Structure 1
Amino acid sequence: MDLTAKLTILERMLDIYDRFVGEFELACEKYCAHCCTANVTMTTLEGCRIFADLETSGNLKHLETITRLSHPDRFRPRISINRMADICARGEDPPEEHLNPEASPCPVLVDNACPLYGVRPFGCRCMVSARNCGQTGFADMDPFILTVNDVFLQHLEHIDAHGYTGNFADVMQFLANSENRRLYTSGRLGPPPESLVSNQPVFVLMIPPDHRARIQPLLKEIRGIQI
């Protein structure tokens, strides 16, 4: 599958997700940036979508900002979500991850607003709350939304199975290199650099038993995407 087809599937998946989450009453609004940390992860496919938008809009300057302002202790996953699902399904323990909750803010945030909002990673898009996080200190998220978020993250990795996952800043710095973009676009990426991890297809979905029936319509929509 070529990059254009993958990007089309990504856009349609995001449309499905937006319709789903739009059915909930949420406190999220513009300039509410409590969840805009430096710990967001994404796939190389999402990074290509962001890069294309920056290139089209003439805002590639943000790449320099990302490099310059990236938090030194930002979250860097040791495994992807599909790899974690496989490990857990076998009854094994996934590797411990290091996450510094004080790694804030996101390097592109300006006056509590995101200049990349329209093409933000799914990891940003799915961080929603029923109450203002600044008042509660945490995101108040419906357990079913958490399950749906995991399923979408797993499918996003699946369509980018030959790519990488990593911190937003690390993926963007990787794609800022034209040779890396050429290799990714041609499907010729080798082992990931130290800052990123390899993606893999979905083999098992992380769906709790009490959510399996409720999530079926969403799964049908995702699997029914045609290009």
Structure 2
Amino acid sequence: MACVLGDSEFDKERGRNNRPVPYQNYKKRPEQEMNTELKTVLLQNVYAAYDKFAKGVENVCGIGCASCCTQNVSVTAIEAHCILDWLNKEDRLDFMKSLRSIPAKTICRPAITTNGLADKCLNQIEPPEEEVPSVTGVCPFLNKADRTCFIYEVRPFSCRSFFSKKKCEDHGHADIEPVLLTVNSVFLQVIEHIDSESLFGNMIEMLLFLGDKMNHDRYVKRGTLPSSNGFLQTRPIPGFIIPPEDEYKTLYALNTLYNTEVNNTTFRNIIMGTAS
């Protein structure tokens, strides 16, 4: 039976102070305070905590290994915002022109957000099936010459969390540690929670959407985005679903993130809305 958790007082020592507390106690930060600047800082802390966890993950991935680099990448608005900010600083916003020429029929759109899926599972409701294009293209940020990522420094979580124990191109598919799928889902839920009341969708379409000055300015000003065609509304964490065999590693990784100091408080206090 899976370990179903709401928020917990995670402790570095297994078995101490990790009694689940219902997520009804989970308070969202006031809208005006959770701006894109704070969201960016929180996202960077998520990446850093995950990178620490990933050091112990068995994988054969390396430079030039690019079988997974397709157009089927889903992101939150804050992840796309960070990519656009990086392109702007590198004076490479001209790269956006190439995204507009990508055929819509090759783009995969998610059918549900990560927290939406968790909510369905917690309530034993069948989630919607995702329609995958019969033909998909290579990621536009993949350098075809040396098969490296053009935006590697700011690549979204879906990319940085993909690992395989075997070469995908040799076996036709990835071989992923089960615990990795659990940790990835939990971290994706946290990212979505950070960007609650915003948008979730395909990376290419999200970049084009936020590449529009009016949409981008509205997001930067408010930190939220209203529903828009082709995108899903992001939502807070309803709870975590963690198989018993994955509990120790998952809670340890999440504990590392939650205890991170951010703006003179902890990551946990900020996303719980309890920071003073």
Aligned match of 2:114: 81
Q: Output aligned runs, 1:208-219, within 5 Å.
A: 208-219=243-254
The alpha-carbon deviation at position 3 of structure 1 amounts to 1.4
The alpha-carbon deviation at position 139 of structure 1 amounts to 0.9
Q: Distance in 2 between matches of 1:29 and 1:86?
A: 35
Deviations 1:118-139 (A, max 9, x none): 1111111111111111101111
Unaligned runs of 5+ in 2: 1-33, 264-276
Aligned match of 2:212: 177
Q: Does 1:48 align with 2:81?
A: yes
Tell me the amino acid that sits aligned with residue 91 of structure 2: G
Aligned match of 1:201: 236
Deviations 1:77-134 (A, max 9, x none): 1221101110111011111110136412112222122211111111111111111111
Aligned match of 1:68: 101
**1:101 to 1:13, Cα distance in 2 relative to 1, 3 A:** farther
Tell me the amino acid that sits aligned with residue 202 of structure 1: I
| SS of 1:181 mapped into structure 2 | helix
Tell me the amino acid that sits aligned with residue 192 of structure 2: E
| SS of 2:141 mapped into structure 1 | coil
Tell me the amino acid that sits aligned with residue 178 of structure 2: P
| SS of 1:52 mapped into structure 2 | helix
Q: Which runs of 4+ in 1 moved over 6 A?
A: none
**1:182 to 1:98, Cα distance in 2 relative to 1, 3 A:** same
Tell me the amino acid that sits aligned with residue 163 of structure 1: S
With normalisation by structure 1, the TM-score equals 0.94
Conservation of the 8 A alpha-carbon contact between 2:35 and 2:223: no
The alpha-carbon deviation at position 186 of structure 1 amounts to 1.9
The alpha-carbon deviation at position 162 of structure 1 amounts to 2.1
| SS of 2:142 mapped into structure 1 | coil
Q: Output aligned runs, 1:1-227, within 5 Å.
A: 1-70=34-103, 72-100=105-133, 102-111=135-144, 112-187=147-222, 189-225=224-260, 226-227=262-263
**1:51 to 1:124, Cα distance in 2 relative to 1, 3 A:** same
Q: Distance in 2 between matches of 1:70 and 1:106?
A: 13
Q: Distance in 1 between matches of 2:141 and 2:88?
A: 16
Q: Distance in 1 between matches of 2:173 and 2:84?
A: 31
With normalisation by structure 2, the TM-score equals 0.78
Q: Distance in 2 between matches of 1:130 and 1:155?
A: 26
Unaligned runs of 5+ in 1: none
Conservation of the 8 A alpha-carbon contact between 2:197 and 2:225: no
**1:25 to 1:95, Cα distance in 2 relative to 1, 3 A:** closer
Q: Which has the higher strand share?
A: 2
CA RMSD, Structure 1 to Structure 2 (Å)? 1.5
Tell me the amino acid that sits aligned with residue 160 of structure 1: D
Q: Number of aligned pairs?
A: 227
| SS of 1:134 mapped into structure 2 | helix
**1:70 to 1:121, Cα distance in 2 relative to 1, 3 A:** farther
